[in-house]
Structure 1
Amino acid sequence: MPENVIAPSAAVDATLQVVAKADVAQDVVALTLRHPAGRRLPDWAPGAHIDVMLPSGATRQYSLCGDRWDAYTYRVGVLREQDGRGGSAFIHDRLAVGDLVGTGGPRNNFRLVPAPRYLFVAGGIGITPLIPMIHQADLLGIDWQLLYGGRTRGSMAFLEELESYGERVVVAPHDEVGRLDLPSWIGALSGTDAKVYVCGPSSLLAAAELLCAGWPAGKLRTERFVPEQHGAPVRDEPFEVELARSGSVVTVTPGASVLDAVQATGVNVLSSCREGTCGTCETTVLAGEPDHRDSILDDEERSAADCMFICVSRSCSDRLVLDL
């Protein structure tokens, strides 16, 4: 890759420079990004992520895992995905200190909400969004614990950094202790006012959701790195989308997304993942009933029917009216 090549993307909010790149576990590197002119970066809160646009045109989302009080640098952790689409391999093998990348955000679909107690559960690279949450809870003197699982100790990132928290952090590599004992950890919190934050592979999230079935809405909070599997859309016939601000009405066919149909009218809607995980294309719904097919909103937010992610979500009604 030629030095300082910026990734092509229409959604670039800032061009940042890689100022540090370090191995922090087997197949995990940490990137530190800074504005080339040393400018202050946008503030962020625990749970936030940024889009990173690579020279190949690929866009990937990575959780911010550095010091949120450092206004001049962002840190992200990147796992080499052995069966991925090439974005993580590019970062590991070719992206170098001094290179420039386009970035979007920060955006936050995994906010840390107030609670008197937290249980954080991480699987592998799922530790990244939880690190700033732990720091925030500790700073505020709130009771918390972390259960951190991975294949081996060598594959688990940021262990040395987490050692400073002592016994509040329980490290549970699979090759040493087997599967995480989620029933004991999560079951002990049933009926309490604690909140549980889980991030990691789909199997971990599914297990946590099963254990928390029937709990009050919002008590369990999860973030997915890959899209949740959904069944067939509610309707398989075309529907209309009215763009309230532009006055246009477009028809969305079964083989097209709302995003594609809207962009075809010339209305520019920023998008990134196109799989309902990043939140970039969130759009306000003024009328109609969305068929939510994202991996971001919880049940309460879906019932409100006042927003949708138009890269994947569709319509239950004949017409949707969007604030576009």
Structure 2
Amino acid sequence: MEVTVAGRETAAEGVASFELRRADGGPLPGFDAGAHIDVELPNGMVRQYSLCNDPAERGHYRIGVLLEAAGRGGSRSAHAQLLPGSRLRISAPRNHFALVPARHTLLLAGGIGVTPILSMAEQLARADASFELHYCSRSPARTAFVPRLRAAAFAAQVHFHFDDGDAAQRFDARAVLAQAGDTTHLYVCGPKGFMDHVILTARALGWSEGNIHYEYFAGAAVDSSADRGFEVQIAGSGQVVPVAPGQSVVQALAAHGIDVPVSCEQGVCGTCVMRVVQGEPEHRDMYFSAAEHAANHCFTPCCSRSKSARLVIDF
């Protein structure tokens, strides 16, 4: 869809918030809390951003973008080139981080990971559901959407935690997660270190794996120095393509005229997912769950590799 930037504001230090409306004035597709859209940025990159407005709002989408100085250029393009009146293309919403019914919901956000969590809080509040939101950031100046949260009908259920605050303000994962129960579901989003800490703490405290929900914004750092070459075979045609050390499956296929749609290129978004027909992948994505990794039915060719000498794949 083609949309127009109908509004832009500074949500926090280094965070810009954009309001998007259809260029033709029509309604946007509906979405549920936790959904994201693909955004084709002015520099040609495609990036995924969570929708952070109330899902009940049909006339516009809102996204928040953190300026990543050491990133690959997507956020720099958004901050420098997306101005009121700018036109760009986006996908329909997709959701890999949806809420499930629960007696109580615990929302944990770290930094810009608050964007899908905001939408969840709005949806839960409208349903008069039991929940609480813990929002962790470095400092008040770097905490996005504070006025909105303080003015929300659910403001009493929001707890702020700052790294540079006093001991009482800092986040204590064990204390927050202490009441594990089959009727409580946890949702966490933010930087990988924050998420890993929360998820590992929850598991150590006895939380059921099915009650822990999370969404990563970036892939994990991987030591590729010991990578070996392997082959991929296309199930439909039988074509065999060698994949060299230091080369992704996507790159190897592209060199042989087989284009695979990609977006994040870090194993986060799921755009490039392929079916595994035979062989054992070496999963390096943040998209699939541990159970899905163990099943080996699919893999992400943008970052994952193969443990077997040949991997037979299908689109």
What is the TM-score of this pair, normalised by structure 1?
0.86
Q: What is the one-letter code of the residue matched to 2:194?
A: L
Matched with 1:118 is: 105
Superposed CA offset, 1:193-240 (max 9, x none): 31211111222112112212354323222222221234559x843322
| Corresponding residue SS for 1:65 | coil
Is the Cα contact below 8 Å between 2:233 and 2:312 reproduced in 1? Answer: yes
Distance in 2 separating the partners of 1:265 and 1:139: 51
Superposed CA offset, 1:31-86 (max 9, x none): 11122112333333222222222222333321111132333421101122243344
Change (3 A) 1:323 1:236: same
Q: C-alpha displacement at 1:145, in angstroms? A: 0.6
Matched with 1:221 is: 213
Matched with 2:61 is: 74
Distance in 2 separating the partners of 1:250 and 1:40: 44
Task: Check if 1:295 corresponds to 2:286.
Answer: yes
1:174 to 149, 155, 163: 163
Q: C-alpha displacement at 1:120, in angstroms? A: 0.7
Change (3 A) 1:266 1:111: farther
Change (3 A) 1:65 1:236: same
Q: What is the one-letter code of the residue matched to 1:271?
A: V
Matched with 1:152 is: 139
Is the Cα contact below 8 Å between 1:187 and 1:211 reproduced in 2? Answer: no
Deviates more, 1:17-26 or 1:242-251: 242-251
Matched with 1:27 is: 14
2:299 to 277, 301, 308: 308
Distance in 2 separating the partners of 1:67 and 1:291: 38
Q: What is the one-letter code of the residue matched to 1:172?
A: H
Q: What is the one-letter code of the residue matched to 1:213?
A: R
Distance in 1 separating the partners of 2:96 and 2:149: 24
| Corresponding residue SS for 2:291 | helix
Q: Percent identity?
A: 39
Distance in 1 separating the partners of 2:92 and 2:9: 23
Task: Check if 1:16 corresponds to 2:3.
Answer: yes
Aligned residues: 309
What is the TM-score of this pair, normalised by structure 2?
0.89
Q: C-alpha displacement at 1:97, in angstroms? A: 0.9
Change (3 A) 1:28 1:232: closer
Change (3 A) 1:230 1:237: closer
Root mean square deviation, CA, Å:
2.3
Matches within 5 A, 1:1-324: 14-163=1-150, 164=152, 165-178=154-167, 179-189=170-180, 191-213=181-203, 215-232=207-224, 236-324=227-315
Distance in 2 separating the partners of 1:208 and 1:125: 16
Is the Cα contact below 8 Å between 1:107 and 1:279 reproduced in 2? Answer: no
Distance in 2 separating the partners of 1:192 and 1:299: 20
Runs (5+) with no aligned partner, structure 1:
1-13
Distance in 1 separating the partners of 2:276 and 2:57: 36
Runs (5+) with no aligned partner, structure 2:
none
Q: What is the one-letter code of the residue matched to 2:221?
A: Q
Is the Cα contact below 8 Å between 1:270 and 1:280 reproduced in 2? Answer: yes
Change (3 A) 1:56 1:166: closer
Q: What is the one-letter code of the residue matched to 1:171?
A: F
Is the Cα contact below 8 Å between 2:42 and 2:81 reproduced in 1? Answer: no
Q: C-alpha displacement at 1:187, in angstroms? A: 2.2
Deviates more, 1:54-63 or 1:195-204: 54-63
Distance in 2 separating the partners of 1:173 and 1:249: 53
Is the Cα contact below 8 Å between 1:217 and 1:300 reproduced in 2? Answer: no
Matched with 1:3 is: none
Deviates more, 1:67-76 or 1:306-315: 67-76
Q: What is the one-letter code of the residue matched to 2:212?
A: L
Deviates more, 1:136-145 or 1:224-233: 224-233
Change (3 A) 1:286 1:59: same
Is the Cα contact below 8 Å between 1:217 and 1:299 reproduced in 2? Answer: no
